[in-house]
Amino acid sequence: MPTMTFAEALIDGLCEALQHDEAVTMIGSALLGIGPARRLVDRITQEFPDRLVDGPIAEAAIAGLAAGAAMAGSRPFVDLGTASFSLLAWSQITNEAAVAHLMSGGQIKAPVVYHMLHGVRGGGAAQHSSSPQSMLWNCPGLQIVLPASPRDVKGLVRRALKSDNPTVILNHAKLMAMQGEVPAGDYEIEFGRADVKRTGRDVTVVATSYMVQEALKAADVLAGDGIDAEVVDLRTLVPFDQAAVLESVAKTGRLLVVDECPLRCGVASEVVASVAEHGMSYLKQPPRRLARADAPVACSPGLEAAITPDAAKIAQLAHAMMQARA
């Protein structure tokens, strides 16, 4: 099985989709950010020069163009750049693409994929550090995907470009250089299936995107202290694999949910609420949330770190949970 970076796996999945389906097109070439990985997009422009176009810096325009193209029979993959900028295209994403199938009585499909980079990445400040996954989760009609590894990003992208439903993929800039084994060939991951990245018996840590990697680091630290943490990667918010979360909590009796969107009304809040509603009897103590503080993200690395979850904070909170009386 070949080893690839997250960025390479993303490009590999896109190239395979372009090769296997002539309806797949791309709008925007900055999907890997502004770092060295951006050169990998050259593979697409060289192999499929007529299938990728760069749109204007007008998010509403390109999001609307992509939605219309999808309704007309294409399968566009459109990059909106930083997730913060998706707010400029909110109507096109949530009030057009997301509802077209229902409002047409099932006559129209909108198989568009919106891609964006989310999360605190280092000096991005308030306008380049957004994680709007919880806001998107509140907009019915969208599939929401948060890959956490090279293997996952390829498989989930391939699945998204075969789906007839509109999909939002949120990738984290800090994952782009991550390396891992990736299956060769036409490989996809079914939506709505969480992945247990590490098994454990003492505490369940549910995480998304880059926070999965931070949770795995924390689990290594906790293991040195005799605490066996299970790390569950949701992979998709819509569909949401509630059964996988409940199965893990039934085993460990403790739940800690980690996500990078703000704490209030965030992903962590919804996951905790679902367990409280459907699995309260499994819990030995109240579930805990760890998310970004409810504050704008500053440009200062020190202030960024102060409000963002990381491995040390995850380990500290898990320790406190284990020390609390059941």
- pLDDT mean across residues, the chain: 95
- Mean pLDDT in residue range 78-89: 95
Residues 325 and 296 sit within 8 Å (Cβ to Cβ): no
| Residues 144-171 pLDDT 10s | 999 999 999 999 999 999 999 999 999 9
d(CA 100, CA 105): 9
- Burial call 107-118: b when 16+ CB within 10 Å, e when fewer: eebbbbbbbbbb
Catalytic hit among 128, 172, 278, 319: 128
Residues contacting residue 251 through CB under 8 Å, at least 6 positions apart: 201, 204, 230
| Residues 245-278 pLDDT 10s | 999 999 999 999 999 999 999 999 999 999 999 9
Residues contacting residue 301 through CB under 8 Å, at least 6 positions apart: 122, 123
* 128 assigned to active site: yes
| Residues 88-118 pLDDT 10s | 999 999 999 999 999 999 999 999 999 999 9
- Mean pLDDT in residue range 179-196: 95
Pick from 157, 117, 115: nearest CA to 17: 157
Q: Domains (ranges, CATH) in the chain?
A: 3-181 (3.40.50.970), 195-323 (3.40.50.920)
Pick from 153, 71, 73: nearest CA to 115: 153
Pick from 169, 168, 166: nearest CA to 70: 166
Backbone φ, ψ for residue 204 (5° rounding): -95, 125
Residues contacting residue 224 through CB under 8 Å, at least 6 positions apart: none
Residues 285 and 249 sit within 8 Å (Cβ to Cβ): no
d(CA 318, CA 204): 9
